[in-house]
């Protein structure tokens, strides 16, 4: 509820701006609010300095927020790739940006799963194993979101990026 309210306030303050980055930030905040409202409740509430299950609940929510943000960036990158693939190219025929983006996302998912399952396995004897897995996936997801932004949503000239650079935790937290 609070996230939705903050997103609405952010959206209203940015709508009147001619700045494309502000408009993109407003869209991110709006979508983050919608995603937060759709989240199922967990059996434990998030308490950052609470018990192990409460800390794990926070990790699950943090990972979900990172995944929601990555999905927003991936959708924007997919839309750009689709437009690029439809362009008439003077040399070499049409591009296959959408296929490369889809393949790289699938490869990243496999890599992140292997990497973070290895982290969890390393901590399998401790109660910290779950939050270590979530921390790994959060880090990997943030890195992937930044790669999507850098490689698919920015330009080599002074054209502003399609979405703002993803820095720090998502706005929904």
pLDDT for residue 115: 98
Q: Which CATH architecture has domain 46-152?
A: Up-down Bundle (1.20)
Which residue has 């996302």 as its token pair?
Answer: 105
CA dist., res. 164 & res. 161, Å (int): 6
CA dist., res. 25 & res. 165, Å (int): 10
Q: Are 27 and 57 in contact (CB under 8 A)?
A: no
Percentage helix, strand, coil for the chain under 3-state DSSP, each rounded to 5 = 70, 0, 30
CA dist., res. 85 & res. 99, Å (int): 10
The predicted-structure confidence for 131-160, as pLDDT tens digits, reads as follows 999 999 999 999 999 999 999 999 999 999
pLDDT for residue 30: 55
Closest alpha carbon to 63 in 2, 124, 112? 112
CA dist., res. 141 & res. 139, Å (int): 5
Q: How many helices (H) and strands (E) does the chain have?
A: 5, 0
The predicted-structure confidence for 7-28, as pLDDT tens digits, reads as follows 333 333 333 334 544 455 455 5
- Show me where the domains of the chain are located: 46-152
Q: Is the pTM of this model over 0.95?
A: no
């Amino acid at each position: 509820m609070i996230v939705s309210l903050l997103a609405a306030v952010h959206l209203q303050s940015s709508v009147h701006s001619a700045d494309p980055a502000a408009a993109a930030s407003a869209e991110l905040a709006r979508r983050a609010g919608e995603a937060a409202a759709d989240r199922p409740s967990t059996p434990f509430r998030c308490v950052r300095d609470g018990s192990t299950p409460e800390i794990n609940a926070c990790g699950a929510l943090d990972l979900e927020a990172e995944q929601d943000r990555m999905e927003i960036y991936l959708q924007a990158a997919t839309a750009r790739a689709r437009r690029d693939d439809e362009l008439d190219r003077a040399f070499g025929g049409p591009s296959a940006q959408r296929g490369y983006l889809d393949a790289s996302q699938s490869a990243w998912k496999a890599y992140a799963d292997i990497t973070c399952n290895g982290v969890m396995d390393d901590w399998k004897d401790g109660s910290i194993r779950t939050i270590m897995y979530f921390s790994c996936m959060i880090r990997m997801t943030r890195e992937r979101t930044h790669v999507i932004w850098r490689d698919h949503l920015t330009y080599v000239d002074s054209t502003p990026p399609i979405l703002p650079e993803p820095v720090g935790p998502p706005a929904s937290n």
